[in-house]
Structure 1
């Protein structure tokens, strides 16, 4: 190919591509899912590439599933007439760097229902573009509590409970060596606020010693653990029986001792009276 042909081809190709400054842009959202803690706040940043002033643009955040507007900024003000009702009073548009094409949306407080896919949308008078991202909502609940009660002969029932988890947590029983134990029952119930209450139980042999109940947040990979010791649990359970048996036994022994002493003393007096007469009677 002749050099002049290459120059014409390059010129034609350049003419077909958008020129810098024509108003076209890309919207860049969070590069990874946003992890939002229940009850806290989440900040959803978006910016334009190349850098340009977005002060006169329409900027919106939308839910993908279910669809609906989360927040809308236009003509230098917040417009909330079409905002989904569950976000009203919980969103704030951050525009300190809007002249550089950098904005963010703050949501507070985070609710379980905020989890899902979102779109960040920019529109100028000549062009528009959007970015998609995801919010992962999560929360770790209370420290587990273990309740111990007698089961069948040689067995004890252990029940582990905790509340305030999202999403559904993972539950594990382990023995003192860290080996997993099979639970007898396990329930995970969502409360009205969407948080999960966990209750799991296991039946173990009283010859077992120590172990633990662990509840794990699958998003944060955070664990909360409660330990149990059957040796400590069995002794308090037997203590009332020990006391109930020991006290009457002690009373019986004391009564028997007193009776023996009384009989021996009385017999001794009779012998002395018989040998020495009334003169030595005590």
Structure 2
């Protein structure tokens, strides 16, 4: 009797539970929806991110498949038969980097990606199937990488025209790119642009155009990501009359010059016959004997200022006055000019690529025997040869070096006065390097800090394909005929912490550029970097 009563009570409840379970299973097998974010997920190289994906209503799906568009058969990750399957056809780019994140039994099918690179940017598909019903959702990611500062190069094409090229590399995603003239007006006509990607998914953008220097005195090249500050480089276009005149008028200039030289020669001959030149030389020598050191320094300052005023024209380098051995007088003013041309806006450093540095003066000083401070050598570089040579032993194993600036410091800081040293590039086809000085504060900074005067670095930089440039903000291109094999560095430091540093081609004495009148009271330390693009070393001579 009791058994019948229990049976009558439990049977309806059991039937009800079976009906409910069957209904839930039917709902799940018939329809469900996928929840994914509508906004793009932003990340940086090396980050770990989660791509959210879940089902509604929550249940434990029988299959989860993550894949790239048009790569359904080579998934990033496949969950099936209650486990993540190892497949030969899986996308090898994500091997060891992809996993499910969250409680799958609760409907969370999110994908976790480790060690991101620029090539991971783009669209991902979350595909979920249960019985005969499936849904898919799309998740967008963007791995952002700031590329290099744009570098401008100029090639003479003849007939009064030059080809101006601007290149910037290492971007993700593809950056915006604009040319502007000196008035800030965007240039849209006559441009050529090319975008290319390397094996890491980073974009290189280059643009070029033909211009006439007589019609355009300056150009600005800007590149950057849409919602970030643009990086910019500038170039001033100046051609001498010999470069811009037409072939028809060239012979006229030659004839006029020859006639002028002939007239000058006749005049000098008559003055010499009358004894005037001999008297003038005797007067000049007597005046020199009476001149004080202060007057000589003043004359040097006036000579420099006069040359700076005429620096817009192309001139051949001239030698400076010879100074006595061991002199410590400064050849530049204790105070910089109020508005120097070509200055770095952040540091008030004047960078001059047309001024003639004093090569003869630099060579009067003994070459410093610098030694690399091995305590400053980063893991990516190696020092050998009694602390005189530095190089990158394994450039092929270094990735993401676009925002990494490893270098070594030499023994320092240097005292006030004049110092000259040389750095040799063992191979003329070396791809990158930089040489210069840094402040005592900058010497303690990490290699991730940009090498700029604002951060306490004054260097001459070389990148293959773009050439030499001073590390101002924006960079200033340094014209040169061929790649350097030996660089000369001449530093003139006053006791008040005002410095001028000049760079030369040490093989022929040809001047390259000068950093003028920059202030740093804590002393300066020589710095050099062989770059990370090849194994070829730099050696301090």
TM-score computed with the length of structure 2 as normaliser: 0.34
> Which has the greater radius of gyration?
1
- Correspondence list, 1:60-139, <5 A: 60-67=65-72, 68-74=74-80, 77-81=83-87, 83-95=90-102, 97-108=103-114, 109-112=116-119, 115-123=122-130, 126=131, 128-137=133-142, 139=144
Q: What is the CA distance between 1:163 and its match in structure 2?
A: 0.9
- 2:279 alignment partner in structure 1: 260
CA, structure 1 residues 93+110, in 2 after alignment: closer, same or farther (shift >3 Å)?
A: farther
Alignment partners' CA distance in 1, 2:141 and 2:101: 21
The question of whether the paired residues in 1 share the 8 Å contact of 2:64 and 2:79 is answered with: yes
- 1:193 alignment partner in structure 2: 200
Q: What is the CA distance between 1:121 and its match in structure 2?
A: 1.2
Alignment partners' CA distance in 1, 2:35 and 2:53: 6
TM-score computed with the length of structure 1 as normaliser: 0.60
- 1:165 alignment partner in structure 2: 171
Alignment partners' CA distance in 1, 2:71 and 2:62: 25
Q: What is the CA distance between 1:215 and its match in structure 2?
A: 2.3
Instruction: Give the one of 184, 205, 220 matched to 1:212.
Output: 220
The question of whether the paired residues in 1 share the 8 Å contact of 2:49 and 2:112 is answered with: yes
Classify the secondary structure of the residue corresponding to 2:147: coil
Alignment partners' CA distance in 1, 2:185 and 2:161: 19
Instruction: Give the one of 232, 241, 249 matched to 1:226.
Output: 232
Residue 47 (str. 1) matches residue 66 (str. 2): no
- 1:5 alignment partner in structure 2: none
The question of whether the paired residues in 1 share the 8 Å contact of 2:67 and 2:77 is answered with: yes
Classify the secondary structure of the residue corresponding to 1:197: strand
Alignment partners' CA distance in 2, 1:163 and 1:46: 34
The question of whether the paired residues in 2 share the 8 Å contact of 1:214 and 1:223 is answered with: no
CA, structure 1 residues 43+206, in 2 after alignment: closer, same or farther (shift >3 Å)?
A: farther
The question of whether the paired residues in 1 share the 8 Å contact of 2:66 and 2:75 is answered with: yes
CA, structure 1 residues 36+122, in 2 after alignment: closer, same or farther (shift >3 Å)?
A: farther
Alignment partners' CA distance in 1, 2:79 and 2:281: 103
- Correspondence list, 1:240-255, <5 A: none
Alignment partners' CA distance in 1, 2:129 and 2:55: 9
110-119 or 194-203, which deviates more: 110-119
Q: What is the CA distance between 1:159 and its match in structure 2?
A: 2.2
Classify the secondary structure of the residue corresponding to 1:102: coil
Once the two structures are superposed, what CA deviation does each residue of 1:167-221 show, in whole Å capped at 9, x if it has no partner?
A: 544422012333222355433333333433222223253564444212244xx55
Q: What is the CA distance between 1:143 and its match in structure 2?
A: 2.0
The question of whether the paired residues in 2 share the 8 Å contact of 1:65 and 1:116 is answered with: no
How many residues align structurally? 223
